[in-house]
Amino acid sequence: MPETKKTPALSTWKKTGFIATVLILLAFPLYLIRAHFSNTGTRGTQQESAVYVGGDKCIDCHPHEYHDWHGSDHDRAMDSATEQSVRGNFNHALFVDRKGDTSLFYKQDNKFFVHTKGPGGKPGDFRIAYTFGTRPLQQYLVPFDGGRLQCLPIAWDTIRHSWFSLPDSIYKNENLTPDNWLYWTNNGQNWNGMCADCHSTNLKKGYDPDKHTYHTTWTDIDVNCEACHGPGSEHIKWANLPEMDRPKNTNYGLTVNTSKIDPVEEVKQCARCHARRSVMGDFTPDDFHKDMLDYMIPQLLNAPHYFSDGQILDEDYVYGSFTQSYMYQEHLRVTCSDCHNVHSLKTILPVDDNQLCLQCHRADVYDTYEHTYHKKAGEPGKPLVLDHGKKVVKVGEGAKCVNCHMPGRYYMGVDFRRDHSLRIPRPDLSVKYGTPNACNQCHTDKSPRWADSWIRKWYGPSRRHHYGEVLARGRKGDPAALDSLILIIHDILHPVIVRATAVTLLQNYPPQKSFEAVKSALSDPESIIREAAVRSLPALSPEKFKEALLPMLNDPVKAVRIQAAFRLSSLPRRQIDGKYQKTFDKAIKEYEESMRYMGDFASSRHNLGVLFSNLGQINNAIANYKEAIRIDNLFFPAKINLSLLYNQTGKNDQAEKMLLDVIRHEPDFDQGYYYLGLLEAEKKQYNKALTYLLEAARRMPEYTRINYNLSLLYQQLGKKKEAEIYLQKCLKAEPDNFDYLYAAATYYLKMGDNAKAKKYAVRLSEKYPNNPAGQNILNLLTKK
């Protein structure tokens, strides 16, 4: 679309980043750290033909393992709603939430029901089909048409033995109206897509993105033996052979040899569910032996999921925090089973008296007052009483290893989960960056400065370097942090997940300064770093962009190559070299299949909309953006991109309506005002454009492009003084920007100020010698 008086058309939105893919980050698994490209899982020789048979086939031969597992959180991850499995009070129990809405829990014909508000906010009676989890809360699943199971918004607190509202606990600042994505009958609380794959064994989602229906199946309703050991049919064949006839080289017919598994592979096994990630398809037996990024993509240490120093903020499910820890690093490789019984999931030794930690750490050094500076339980002292007696910290809490090195947060209202990054308390970082620290988790009445003063008194003033300082500054785009971020990326002594996060933070820096660093990360042995680099590579120029990303289409790891294909889809197909076109098409198909698998999420529909828009399939793009909005009416990236397509197809009134809807629902979405200003300028509604652009400039003073647009707009309105003021603001912020130099030269040429016009034309020629624009203006001045 042509520009009007040099006012950028809406195609310039691509510079804002909304055209980038949106990762679908769900509440579970992450990736495995590897030091090579090959996939070398610990496997048996029969796994290709093995099928799932059900955990009950394992009990006779493995009674001790079954005894440990029976009644565990894995055993009770999900169950049919029965008298034995349901823990909540369904004896005509009445519950009233903070809005005053009442729900009644009751039984009828040996089935469990709730009378509560349902679809559209209308009251109704709903049958409880399944229990979900067991401690410290139990949730309940209600069946709906299309194979959907929805999570009831009221859960049972199994510690306090009472009902409580999850929205009241989790979404206090959300207005959960029935059209909100998070309302309990909508997709945000859908079991099939949000929760199912980590609570049952051999789960197949079975989502039909065209019919919006599910046919979800499982082998075992809970997390059973084969969830970790793989399908067991070949193992049973092996076990049924006479002992003398059993082959010696088949790994007992097991898909995964967990008894000989190395620490990295073991963590990978657990991380498939105990990590926050996006998935690309159903988990299959073959995936046990692949790189983790062949079937899922981890959440890195970015906001809003982590604090800037890597501590947990939103739910991370352990993996993202644990892989930051000193214990996990290569020289130690502490793993899950060093602390947890893999079948019962309980810690192998008590935590309260530090015995779990003292199996490795010397008691005479670390379990002493000289180390903790806190009294142990049973020693004389007074408890810490806070908040007028509402919070009491008993004597001895400060001497527990986990309270200082594994502080936690509450999730799901009542579920206290500890941070597994196992870090040293750093109140000094709290002072600098607002991150939490263990000291103030107990001493809530004191400040981080107070806590830091005691740390200095006890342990001295020196502090180890912490990557969190660099990540915190990188989040803000601090120019002084750029070199440190690049050092972290290339330093193999830093945790891999930290290095990958540092790659993504380079997006906050000018492309000219970050391109080479991101490009170098494309060849890193770690797949998560390569994926982050593909996602973060700036489009410095089409040739450099293409040269860097085309080889990534052949990456052995799925997440890397499909992200490369997606990024390359923004280029015209003719720019994809012939030898890469088949590989490109194959990776594009993989990407599309992955997004369709997650097609019940607005994020993936948005991603498909971006893909089809890039490929020139405008109708498909519009259809997917509309579907994203149908799924989540507040998912504004889809609305932004849909308005862009409306603009490109000449439907500016529809584009305007969509943008107005965005700022109505998201009044703090600052860029929405900018987009509206550009659109109104294109519609020649200059006064409206001025209103929106001035508001955008007020909201985003650091975004100098708005000043450029305002200068052009004031020129259009004949307000020369204002046009010059905003033009000079641009040049002050970015004195070598091509557009700003060209605008200044042409502006002063029109104003008849040949001296200033020459000044900027000369600078334009010097800074951009391969572009004739500056010389053309100088030629015009010479003719005058």
Least confident among 167-176, 515-524, 758-767: 167-176
Summary mean pLDDT of the chain: 90
End-to-end CA distance of the chain: 33
Q: What is the mean pLDDT of residues 487-512?
A: 96
pLDDT at 20 over 90: no
pLDDT at 99 over 50: yes
pLDDT at 258 over 70: yes
Q: Which residues contact 98 (CB under 8 A, 6 or more apart)?
A: 165, 168
Least confident among 179-183, 248-252, 266-270, 510-514: 248-252
Calpha distance 442→404 (Å, rounded): 10
* pLDDT band at residue 150 using 50, 70 and 90 as cut-offs: very high
pLDDT at 572 over 90: yes
Q: What is the mean pLDDT of residues 217-232?
A: 95
* pLDDT band at residue 37 using 50, 70 and 90 as cut-offs: very low
* pLDDT band at residue 272 using 50, 70 and 90 as cut-offs: very high
Between 260 and 45, the more confident residue is 260
Asked if residues 152 and 596 have their Cβ atoms less than 8 Å apart, the reply is: no
Strands 93-96 and 78-80: unpaired
Helix (H, G, I), strand (E, B) or coil at 164: strand
Strands 408-411 and 296-298: unpaired
Q: What is the mean pLDDT of residues 485-500?
A: 96
Calpha distance 357→622 (Å, rounded): 56
pLDDT at 14 over 70: no
pLDDT at 416 over 80: yes
CA distances in angstroms from 343 to 54, 63, 346, listed in the order given: 16, 12, 8
What local confidence, expressed as pLDDT, does residue 431 receive? 96
pLDDT at 12 over 60: no
* pLDDT band at residue 784 using 50, 70 and 90 as cut-offs: low
Encoded amino acid at 30, one letter: L
Transcribe 172-186 into DSSP letters.
TT----TTSTTSTTS
Q: What is the mean pLDDT of residues 667-676?
A: 92
What local confidence, expressed as pLDDT, does residue 475 receive? 96
Q: What is the mean pLDDT of residues 227-255?
A: 88
pLDDT at 424 over 80: yes
Burial call 184-223: b when 16+ CB within 10 Å, e when fewer: bbbbbbbbbbbbbbbbbbbbbbebebeebebebebbbbbb
pLDDT at 15 over 60: no
Calpha distance 694→258 (Å, rounded): 62
pLDDT at 755 over 60: yes
Q: What is the mean pLDDT of residues 68-77?
A: 96
Asked if residues 343 and 68 have their Cβ atoms less than 8 Å apart, the reply is: yes
What local confidence, expressed as pLDDT, does residue 420 receive? 96
What local confidence, expressed as pLDDT, does residue 62 receive? 95
Could you read off the pLDDT of 601-625 as tens digits, one per residue? 999 999 999 999 999 999 999 999 9
Encoded amino acid at 444, one letter: T
pLDDT at 717 over 60: yes
Could you read off the pLDDT of 321-354 as tens digits, one per residue? 999 999 998 777 899 999 999 999 999 999 989 9
Transcribe 15-45 into DSSP letters.
GGTTTS-----BSS------SSSS----B-S
Least confident among 8-22, 516-530, 736-750: 8-22
pLDDT at 200 over 70: yes
Q: What is the mean pLDDT of residues 734-751?
A: 92
Could you read off the pLDDT of 770-780 as tens digits, one per residue? 999 989 988 88
Q: What is the mean pLDDT of residues 254-283?
A: 91
Phi, psi of 588, rounded to the nearest 5 degrees: -65, -40
What local confidence, expressed as pLDDT, does residue 415 receive? 95
Give the length of the chain.
784
pLDDT at 285 over 50: yes
pLDDT at 19 over 90: no
Beta strands in 17-153 (DSSP E): 78-80, 93-96, 102-108, 111-117, 123-128, 130-132, 137-144, 148-151
pLDDT at 60 over 50: yes
